[in-house]
């Protein structure tokens, strides 16, 4: 169909002629009410924004000398965060002379990662920042 015929059809219907794919051979055009088309696009964008889930970065802090039961409780809470689709940043903080034994922090991080291996993937390697050793995990 020629351009003039398409414009005539669009004008008779009281709507607009929109070029969809200008590089195609022949070019593809559509007869659409432009205002209605824009409104529908805007509604689709709002719906997709509403349904989009924001991933939060939750934090869990624990000391180097944490007890086994306390660690289990913290791990349970981390699993809840992961199940909800969040990432979790785990901090091991060092107090006083504990800084002289940072290798114990790395051992604890390895233990935590081993306990979470069924639920989480290590996203960021262990990293020292001041008196904190941290990792970031996300759900599988």
Predicted local confidence at residue 7, as pLDDT:
85
SS3 annotation, 7-61: HHHHHHHCCEEEEEECCCCCCEEEEECHHHHHHHHHHHHHHHHHHCCCCCEEEEE
Query: Which of 2, 30, 1 minimizes the C-alpha distance to 15?
Result: 30
Query: Which of 2, 1, 33 minimizes the C-alpha distance to 17?
Result: 33
Predicted local confidence at residue 105, as pLDDT:
93
State pLDDT tens for residues 9-46.
888 888 888 888 888 888 888 888 888 888 999 999 99
Residue 53 or residue 110, greater confidence: 110
Question: 54 pLDDT exceeds 80?
Answer: no
Question: End-to-end alpha-carbon separation of the chain, Å?
Answer: 53
Residue 16: how many CA atoms within 13 Å on its side-chain side?
A: 9
State pLDDT tens for residues 101-132.
999 999 999 999 999 999 899 988 999 999 99
Per-chain mean pLDDT for the chain: 90
> In sequence order, what are the beta bridge partners of 30?
18
Predicted local confidence at residue 9, as pLDDT:
86
Specify the range with the lowest mean pLDDT, choosing from 27-36, 75-84, 128-137.
27-36
Domains and their CATH numbers in the chain: 3-50 (no CATH), 57-139 (3.30.110.10)
Predicted local confidence at residue 126, as pLDDT:
93
Q: Is 95 helix (H, G, I), strand (E, B) or coil?
A: coil
pTM: 0.62
């Amino acid at each position: 169909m020629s351009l003039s015929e398409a414009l005539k059809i669009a004008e008779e219907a009281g709507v607009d002629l929109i070029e969809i794919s200008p590089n195609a051979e022949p070019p593809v055009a559509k007869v659409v009410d432009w205002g209605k088309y824009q409104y529908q696009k805007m509604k689709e964008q709002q719906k997709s924004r509403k349904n989009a889930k924001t991933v939060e970065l939750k934090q869990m802090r624990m000391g180097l000398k944490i007890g086994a039961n306390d660690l289990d409780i913290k791990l349970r809470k981390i699993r809840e965060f992961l199940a909800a689709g969040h990432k979790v940043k785990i901090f091991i903080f060092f107090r006083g002379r504990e800084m002289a034994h940072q290798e114990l922090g790395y051992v604890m991080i390895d233990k935590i990662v081993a306990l979470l291996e069924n639920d989480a993937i290590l996203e960021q390697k262990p990293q020292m920042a001041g008196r904190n050793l941290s990792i970031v995990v996300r759900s599988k």
